[in-house]
Structure 1
Amino acid sequence: MTHTIEKQLLPIIQKKLLSNSFVIAHESGNTKNSGPFSLENEIAYMKKQALANGAFTSHWVGGGGRIIQIAQTGKIQFGAGKLANPHAYAQVELARTTNLTWFQRDYQAYIWLLQKLAAEAGIPHTLNSGTTLSSKGIKTHHWISRHLGGTTHTDPDTYLLQQNISLAQFSKDLAKTNQTAPTPIPTVSKLNQLYHLVVKGDSLWSIAKTYHTTLTWLKMINNLSSETILIGQNLIISMEQPKATTLSQNDLIKLVQKKLKIEQDGLFGPLTKQALIKLIQQNNGSTIDGYWGPKTASKMRILKNRSTGQDVYAVQAFLLGKRYPLIGMPDSYFGLNTTQAVKKFQTTCGLLSDGIVGPKACQKLFS
């Protein structure tokens, strides 16, 4: 079964390959990033590195079977050392997770993608065959280190073994055909945690102040060794997400206003709406004036299940303000609860109740 490859291509120039000899299998190696947003956090970090002329690969897999492409295949990527990079058609990273169900779906997508890329490159999908540059096929980063050099990494061997996948099993799975696509994953909104999506101007100190917590707590629950945070990173704020049943409408709106850094009066009035529309405009590159108009609408992307971002947060907050309650606070993740709220809103407005926020839903919601 076919998987969807989400494209978030970097605005960078990639040089031509010397040959299409390999597809390289990696994993993040980041033991401190294995939560529900590990995929998004790894991609945010790698994009920053790539734009600073650092390391990057073509694809990431994680989040319960998601596949995201950030660089072109068939052109040089910088993920496996100077000797292998000019010969790697594609390089695939696997984000870590401590959720067994998510790993199983990640692994299925990983196998499917490696096979697909090998077919595109015209090379066999055998694993680690041979010992030289002429031995075409799928290679682990460890194989590159051992036989070509130019790098010392040994992934993804250890991580796969921790998940009870030996290299022999990995090789057998790559040799199979008709891999089964993963089933839908549990949404983040069901997890008993509260998150904050880092935006420009945020600091760990300001986030701690906003949520009435401490730097020490945020560093501990996010496994941070310093106070450095990245735009696009999702931080765990608390291990228990406030429920709509225990917080009043005014209290929930006050928390939204606190995030927006505006007066916390608990009323969903013009100032709150303008601040949320500014959030969207900052996200999509529109003129930041706080008003919903044709130019802002034209740049608004379509949002649906598993979308993430500040525009998702704004949609959730508007739904909350219009009394289509979510379970808990807006969290920038378009999960099951958000989908249900959108469907109710669409039904009320006489729109197709599909749970997808497109142009018509945006017009009704924001204007």
Structure 2
Amino acid sequence: MRKPLLTRLLKLRELDRVWCARVQQENLKRLYFLALFGVFLSLSQICLFWLLDATGSAAEARWREISLLVHPVILLLSLLIGGLTLRLRRQDNPSAAVERLSTLTATLILAIGLMLTAFDQLVIQGVTPLVAACSVTALLLYLRPFTALILFSAALIIGLLIIDQLSNSPALKLSSTMNSLTACASGLLVSWILYRNFLREQQLRKVLLRQREILKARTRQLQFQASHDTLTGLFNRREFERLTESELSRVNRHPAPLSLLMLDLDHFKAINDNFGHPAGDAVIRHVARLLGEHTRNCDTIGRLGGEEFIILLPETDLPQAQQTAEKLRGLIEHSSIDIDNGRLQITASIGLACLAPGCQTHLTPLYQAADQALYRAKRGGRNRVEHFYFTPGLDTVPAEAP
């Protein structure tokens, strides 16, 4: 049994070290409400004793007078603790000061409970104030186990001395002794359990937060994989079509020029056959990087599959689109790729479809137009740009685009 107990104590100590600041943050909140509770309790007790009938024995009169003196002190202490709490809440890292204030507050609560217990011996010879003080201390403040052990042990010893000196009836003395022992032991046990559970709750919350972050990251990864090409990081065909349809809807509502480029690498099959698929993948990534670096942020780039790329150019008329297409074609032609067997020179053919302002269409005709323009570029000798221009009233593509 020793080893598991020692292991638990060491684990609790480690948790205490890790979560000490969090414990004191929680204590800071509780000290504020505890101060408010102390002000309310002391004021209500002062009013109650003030209105209480003063008739009775001399001991009862003395008890009433002492209570009227003690509760204003409790009021002042509550106001002082509340003021210190408000001051500490404005500091950046008040953990050490909050821990000292928490220990001081717990000490004052137990001391007041012992004082009222001593006064109660004059009339009822009960230990209700000590029981209440132990309950408030254990339930409302998070105390470190060693600190709680010292405070409740000291409260028990002093309480037993008070009962022994001031209680006259042996039966009441025995009852008060057992009640004091039960109150202090229960307070210590409850304080230890709540403190341990709070630390474990913080540890569990940390684990849950970490798992939630992992889940969020995994979700973002899955969303990225669902909308992007795994080799290049560009949009895949489905996501590109969704974004293009959205842009076309906007253009149909608010007329503006729009262009679509379809790019196909020349003789790509020969690269795979002669140099292997890893070299082909390197070529694909190289071209994707060039397209990403030399287009605008508002442009949308996708990979249709294999060696085919597609680019949406919003707010771009035919001359601008031709200029962009020629620039990309030239960049690809004059770039080279290092592979194991040397350097590769590649070229690309580009088909361009441009939508004039006020011309409404959908993705399919625009896609077909760019595809036919690309076919003409291939048939015309490759490494060139061909275009098709949509004008208002023309929302379909002829069987053989001019």
User: Normalised by the shorter chain, which TM-score bucket?
Assistant: under 0.3
Structure showing greater radius of gyration is: 2
Q: Which has the higher helix share?
A: 2
- TM-score, normalising length from structure 1? 0.22
- Report 1 or 2 for greater relative contact order, CA contacts < 8 Å, sequence distance ≥ 6: 1
